[in-house]
Amino acid sequence: MKKFSVVLSLLLAAGAQAEISHEQIDTAAATVQPQVVEWRRWFHENPELSNREFNTAARIAEILRDMGLEPRTGIAHTGLVAIIKGGRPGPLVAIRTDMDGLPVTEQTGLAFASTATGTYNGQQVGIMHACGHDNHMAMVLGAAKILNDMKDDLPGSVMLIFQPAEEGPPAGEDGGALLMLAEGLFEERMPKAVFGIHVGIGIPGGQFATKPGPMMASADSFLIRVLGKQTHGARPWDGVDPITVSAQIILGLQTITSRQVDVTRAPSIVSVGRISGGIRSNVIPDVVELEGTIRAFDPDMRKQIHVAVERTARLIAESAGATIEFELNLGPPPVRNDLDLTAMMIPALERASGRPLVLLQPQTVAEDFSEFGALTPSLFVFLGNWPADMDSTQQPTNHSPKFDMHEPYLEHGVKAFGHMVVDYLQAQP
């Protein structure tokens, strides 16, 4: 009898530790899909600006508590974190979504279109989820539902990260991924891997796209204040003209990425997006301001460009008798997908969409998901948002007032998160 009891206990233990199958994940994702669409539409209709995602955070917390989870709130102002504790020992992995909308007035004509308004840079603006963060939140919540329902068989745990202010905190405020980390997000336990999905970016409908290594650029901004000497426009020799100096600086900055860094290593961009100076046609002003962005994929090249921008501006100004004041504001580093993690997850992504993975060229847009990837292996992927029979390159893209999501593809995102998490955890020794 004793021998039979031992055998029975072993059989029960083996049964209790059965692996989660791909079919289980797919079935669960299909079941939760109507709820995911409902969540997406609520988020879309109720967007909030960066660091102001109060109602969004409250709704997410409510949904997580309904699942039986215990979210920790108020991280980086409005962020949330919850842990799904697996029933079997294993590592911790994380899935992340952003939460904030943009100061964009929606023009989609959807029945659940946003009519929200707010204040941005002192101006009254419309607010819209014009970059797809409504979809990201819904997909992570869908994945949370199916993973939490399977937690007894999960060999490890899952950290759910709901991050505010991905689009950048308001002027004078801290926020985003960096603030979540500064407030101790990973201090108690570091995830072994972090996964993120972003919709749009011109990817073919319903397909996933990514690349190993550097995939998205760093995003730094600069302000150059050119200081001259004000004078009459008819007597420029009596002063120092910061307008002509600024024009020379703008042209000089374009030689940095074409002549001063090794273009065979990685692409880079220096763009001036704002010029401000002068009050009327016949007055040469004292000051002109130039504001721009620096994009890079290689950390050393990024630093080299920082130095070159200031040097180029200063020496051109000095050649005309002017001076400059220079401010550099560091943004997120490049998104760099871990090579081994990317290779490991390609089958999961193709399984989730039923289509081949698209291998990308480097994207010069930026994402502060990179702050998580700077600390632990990470993988960030794109999901095409327009129907498969539409040319995605001809449709409104991210940040457009007409940006939208083909909702059946939300199921692809839920499945992808589920497959990546389970594949990773079940592959661990």
Please give the chain's pLDDT, 429 residues, in tens: 445 454 444 444 444 467 999 999 999 999 999 999 999 999 999 999 999 999 999 999 999 999 999 999 999 999 999 999 999 999 999 999 999 999 999 999 999 999 999 999 899 999 999 999 999 999 999 999 999 999 999 999 999 999 999 999 998 999 999 999 999 999 999 999 999 999 999 999 999 999 999 999 999 999 999 999 999 999 999 999 999 999 999 999 999 999 999 999 999 999 999 999 999 999 999 999 999 999 999 999 999 999 999 999 999 999 999 999 999 999 999 999 999 999 999 999 999 999 999 999 999 999 999 999 999 999 999 999 999 999 998 999 999 999 999 999 999 999 999 999 999 999 988
pTM of the model: 0.92
- Which class would CATH give 20-217+334-427? alpha beta
Phi, psi of 11 (to 5 degrees): -65, -40
- Using an 8 Å Cβ cutoff, are 141 and 60 in contact? yes
Q: What angle do CA 326, 331, 333 make, to 5 degrees?
A: 125
Give the chain's end-to-end CA distance (angstroms, integer): 34
- The CATH topology of domain 218-329 is Alpha-Beta Plaits (3.30.70)
Q: What is the Cα–Cα distance from 399 to 130, expressed in whole angstroms?
A: 5
Residue type, 347: P
- Using an 8 Å Cβ cutoff, are 68 and 145 in contact? no
H and E: helices and strands count for the chain: 10, 18
Q: What is the CA radius of gyration of the chain?
A: 25
Using alpha carbons, list the distances in angstroms from residue 28 to 68, 148, 189, 382.
Answer: 17, 11, 29, 22
Q: Is 9 exposed, middle or buried (0-12, 13-18, 19+ CB in 10 A)?
A: exposed
Domain boundaries defined on the chain: 20-217+334-427, 218-329
